[in-house]
Amino acid sequence: MQLFTKIVLYTDDQGFAQFREEVVELSQGSPRSMLSALSPSGGYQLRHSPVGFTKEFHCTKDPQFVFILSGQMQISLQDGSSKTFTAGQHFYSSDLLPDGATFDATIHGHQSRQVGAQPLETLFVRG
- Where are the domains positioned within the chain? 2-126
pLDDT of residue 127: 87
User: pLDDT by residue for the chain (127 residues), tens digit each?
Assistant: 799 999 999 999 999 999 999 999 999 999 999 999 999 999 999 999 999 999 999 999 999 999 999 999 999 999 999 999 999 999 999 999 999 999 999 999 999 999 999 999 999 999 8
From residue 100, alpha-carbon distances to 6, 15, 63, 96, 103 in Å are 28, 11, 18, 11, 10
pLDDT of residue 1: 78
pTM for the full predicted model: 0.92
Domain 2-126 has CATH 2.60.120.10: yes
